[in-house]
Amino acid sequence: MSEARMSDEQIAAAFKDTDAIRKGHFRLTSGRHSDTYIQCARVLEHPTLTMRLAAEAVARLPKDLEIDLVASPAVGGILFGFAVAAALDKPLIFSERVDGKMVFRRSFEVSEGAKVLIVEDVVTTGGSVKDVSDLVEENGGSAVAVVSLIDRGADPLFSAPYYPLLQLITPSWEEADCDLCKQGVPIDSPGSRRINK
Ligand SMILES: [Zn+2]
Protein backbone atom coordinates (compact mmCIF):
# COMPACT_ATOMS: atom_id res chain seq x y z
CA MET A 1 0.00 0.00 0.00
CA SER A 2 1.52 3.31 -0.98
CA GLU A 3 0.64 6.67 0.48
CA ALA A 4 -0.96 9.23 -1.84
CA ARG A 5 1.54 11.38 -3.72
CA MET A 6 1.83 15.10 -2.91
CA SER A 7 1.68 17.86 -5.51
CA ASP A 8 3.99 20.88 -5.45
CA GLU A 9 0.99 22.94 -4.30
CA GLN A 10 0.34 20.60 -1.38
CA ILE A 11 4.01 20.74 -0.38
CA ALA A 12 4.00 24.55 -0.51
CA ALA A 13 0.77 24.57 1.51
CA ALA A 14 2.46 22.52 4.25
CA PHE A 15 4.90 25.39 4.81
CA LYS A 16 2.21 28.09 4.73
CA ASP A 17 -0.21 26.18 6.94
CA THR A 18 2.42 25.57 9.63
CA ASP A 19 3.59 29.19 9.62
CA ALA A 20 7.11 28.05 8.70
CA ILE A 21 7.98 31.06 6.54
CA ARG A 22 9.01 34.04 8.66
CA LYS A 23 9.71 37.65 7.70
CA GLY A 24 12.28 39.82 9.49
CA HIS A 25 16.06 40.23 9.43
CA PHE A 26 18.02 37.01 9.68
CA ARG A 27 21.55 35.67 9.59
CA LEU A 28 21.37 32.29 7.86
CA THR A 29 23.62 29.33 8.64
CA SER A 30 25.54 30.20 5.47
CA GLY A 31 26.41 33.57 7.02
CA ARG A 32 24.30 35.40 4.46
CA HIS A 33 21.57 37.82 5.55
CA SER A 34 17.95 37.66 4.42
CA ASP A 35 14.50 39.10 5.12
CA THR A 36 13.01 35.59 5.03
CA TYR A 37 13.63 32.64 7.31
CA ILE A 38 12.20 29.20 6.68
CA GLN A 39 11.63 27.51 10.00
CA CYS A 40 11.35 23.87 8.90
CA ALA A 41 10.97 22.81 12.52
CA ARG A 42 7.38 24.08 12.31
CA VAL A 43 6.69 21.55 9.55
CA LEU A 44 8.78 18.80 11.11
CA GLU A 45 6.96 19.05 14.45
CA HIS A 46 4.15 17.17 12.69
CA PRO A 47 5.32 13.56 12.32
CA THR A 48 2.61 12.37 9.93
CA LEU A 49 3.16 15.34 7.62
CA THR A 50 6.93 14.83 7.84
CA MET A 51 6.58 11.17 6.87
CA ARG A 52 4.35 12.12 3.90
CA LEU A 53 6.90 14.72 2.71
CA ALA A 54 9.70 12.18 3.07
CA ALA A 55 7.76 9.55 1.12
CA GLU A 56 7.19 12.12 -1.63
CA ALA A 57 10.89 13.06 -1.69
CA VAL A 58 11.79 9.38 -2.06
CA ALA A 59 9.15 8.86 -4.77
CA ARG A 60 10.79 11.67 -6.77
CA LEU A 61 14.26 10.09 -6.72
CA PRO A 62 15.40 8.24 -9.83
CA LYS A 63 14.16 4.64 -9.62
CA ASP A 64 17.63 3.24 -10.37
CA LEU A 65 19.38 5.24 -7.64
CA GLU A 66 21.09 2.84 -5.23
CA ILE A 67 21.24 3.99 -1.61
CA ASP A 68 22.83 2.12 1.31
CA LEU A 69 22.72 4.80 3.94
CA VAL A 70 21.26 8.25 4.71
CA ALA A 71 23.45 10.95 6.30
CA SER A 72 22.28 14.32 7.62
CA PRO A 73 23.97 17.29 9.24
CA ALA A 74 22.82 17.97 12.81
CA VAL A 75 20.61 19.51 13.98
CA GLY A 76 18.45 20.72 11.13
CA GLY A 77 18.79 17.69 8.90
CA ILE A 78 18.15 14.98 11.48
CA LEU A 79 14.36 14.86 11.59
CA PHE A 80 13.84 14.91 7.84
CA GLY A 81 16.80 12.57 7.39
CA PHE A 82 15.17 10.13 9.79
CA ALA A 83 11.88 10.31 7.88
CA VAL A 84 13.60 9.79 4.51
CA ALA A 85 15.62 6.90 5.93
CA ALA A 86 12.40 5.35 7.24
CA ALA A 87 10.75 5.73 3.81
CA LEU A 88 13.78 4.03 2.22
CA ASP A 89 14.11 1.48 5.04
CA LYS A 90 17.81 2.36 5.32
CA PRO A 91 19.96 3.43 8.29
CA LEU A 92 20.44 7.08 9.21
CA ILE A 93 23.62 8.61 10.59
CA PHE A 94 24.20 12.27 11.34
CA SER A 95 27.23 14.52 11.51
CA GLU A 96 27.96 17.21 14.06
CA ARG A 97 30.30 20.16 14.21
CA VAL A 98 33.06 20.02 16.79
CA ASP A 99 35.07 23.26 16.92
CA GLY A 100 33.60 24.13 13.52
CA LYS A 101 34.69 20.87 11.89
CA MET A 102 32.06 18.40 10.63
CA VAL A 103 32.57 14.94 12.16
CA PHE A 104 30.70 11.69 12.73
CA ARG A 105 30.50 10.91 16.44
CA ARG A 106 28.46 8.27 18.35
CA SER A 107 30.39 5.40 16.73
CA PHE A 108 28.67 6.06 13.38
CA GLU A 109 30.47 4.37 10.52
CA VAL A 110 30.38 4.58 6.72
CA SER A 111 31.32 1.25 5.21
CA GLU A 112 33.78 1.18 2.29
CA GLY A 113 31.97 1.91 -0.96
CA ALA A 114 28.66 2.84 0.73
CA LYS A 115 26.29 4.83 -1.46
CA VAL A 116 25.06 7.67 0.72
CA LEU A 117 22.05 9.94 0.31
CA ILE A 118 22.61 13.31 2.02
CA VAL A 119 19.44 14.81 3.51
CA GLU A 120 19.10 18.40 4.77
CA ASP A 121 16.16 20.60 5.74
CA VAL A 122 16.98 23.91 4.01
CA VAL A 123 19.75 24.46 1.48
CA THR A 124 20.92 28.01 0.83
CA THR A 125 24.50 27.57 -0.40
CA GLY A 126 24.68 23.95 0.79
CA GLY A 127 27.82 24.44 2.89
CA SER A 128 26.73 21.87 5.49
CA VAL A 129 25.74 19.41 2.74
CA LYS A 130 29.15 19.82 1.14
CA ASP A 131 30.85 19.23 4.49
CA VAL A 132 28.84 16.02 5.08
CA SER A 133 29.53 14.86 1.51
CA ASP A 134 33.27 15.45 1.99
CA LEU A 135 33.14 13.62 5.31
CA VAL A 136 31.35 10.64 3.73
CA GLU A 137 34.00 10.49 1.02
CA GLU A 138 36.87 10.78 3.53
CA ASN A 139 35.30 7.71 5.19
CA GLY A 140 35.30 5.69 1.97
CA GLY A 141 31.68 6.21 0.91
CA SER A 142 30.23 8.23 -1.92
CA ALA A 143 27.55 10.93 -1.81
CA VAL A 144 25.25 9.75 -4.60
CA ALA A 145 22.51 12.39 -4.25
CA VAL A 146 21.21 15.21 -2.08
CA VAL A 147 17.63 15.72 -0.91
CA SER A 148 16.29 18.74 0.95
CA LEU A 149 12.88 19.97 1.99
CA ILE A 150 13.65 23.45 0.69
CA ASP A 151 16.05 24.83 -1.89
CA ARG A 152 16.42 28.58 -1.39
CA GLY A 153 17.72 28.92 -4.90
CA ALA A 154 21.37 29.93 -4.44
CA ASP A 155 24.08 28.08 -6.37
CA PRO A 156 24.91 24.98 -4.32
CA LEU A 157 28.51 24.32 -3.27
CA PHE A 158 28.16 20.53 -3.57
CA SER A 159 28.34 18.55 -6.79
CA ALA A 160 26.08 15.50 -6.23
CA PRO A 161 22.72 15.40 -8.09
CA TYR A 162 20.23 17.48 -6.14
CA TYR A 163 16.53 16.70 -5.57
CA PRO A 164 14.92 19.44 -3.47
CA LEU A 165 11.29 18.86 -2.63
CA LEU A 166 10.33 22.53 -2.89
CA GLN A 167 12.19 25.44 -4.42
CA LEU A 168 11.43 28.69 -2.63
CA ILE A 169 13.44 31.47 -4.19
CA THR A 170 14.08 33.72 -1.23
CA PRO A 171 16.80 36.30 -1.68
CA SER A 172 19.82 36.38 0.60
CA TRP A 173 22.92 38.54 0.44
CA GLU A 174 26.32 39.09 2.00
CA GLU A 175 26.32 40.97 5.30
CA ALA A 176 28.31 43.82 3.73
CA ASP A 177 25.47 44.35 1.22
CA CYS A 178 22.64 44.19 3.77
CA ASP A 179 20.28 47.17 3.66
CA LEU A 180 18.57 45.98 6.85
CA CYS A 181 21.93 46.15 8.67
CA LYS A 182 22.57 49.61 7.21
CA GLN A 183 19.17 50.73 8.55
CA GLY A 184 20.13 49.41 12.00
CA VAL A 185 17.39 46.75 12.05
CA PRO A 186 18.35 44.21 14.75
CA ILE A 187 18.90 40.59 13.72
CA ASP A 188 15.98 38.33 14.65
CA SER A 189 16.63 35.02 16.30
CA PRO A 190 14.62 32.43 14.36
CA GLY A 191 13.69 30.66 17.57
CA SER A 192 12.22 33.82 19.03
CA ARG A 193 8.51 34.14 19.63
CA ARG A 194 8.56 37.86 18.94
CA ILE A 195 9.21 37.36 15.22
CA ASN A 196 6.42 38.91 13.24
CA LYS A 197 4.89 37.07 10.38
ZN1 LIG B 1 21.71 42.20 7.77
The pLDDT tens digits for 50-76 are 999 999 999 999 999 999 999 999 998
Report all structural domains of the chain as residue ranges with CATH numbers, in order of start. 8-182 (3.40.50.2020)
What is the 111 CA–ligand 1 centroid distance (Å)?
Answer: 42
Say if residues 95 and 73 touch (Cβ distance below 8 Å). yes
Residue spans of beta strands (DSSP E) within 17-141: 21-27, 33-38, 69-73, 92-98, 101-104, 115-123
* pLDDT at residue 94 is higher than 80: yes
The whole-number average pLDDT for the span 16-36 is 90
CA 146 to chain centre: 9
What is the 32 CA–ligand 1 centroid distance (Å)?
Answer: 8
Instruction: Specify the higher pLDDT residue, 95 or 152.
Output: 95
What is the 190 CA–ligand 1 centroid distance (Å)?
Answer: 14
| pLDDT at residue 3 in the model | 60
Buried b (16+ CB within 10 A) or exposed e, 39-55: bbebbbeeeebbbbbbb
Which of the four pLDDT bands, split at 50, 70 and 90, describes residue 192?
Answer: low
* pLDDT at residue 197 is higher than 60: no
The pLDDT tens digits for 12-21 are 999 999 999 9
Average model confidence (pLDDT) for the chain?
A: 91
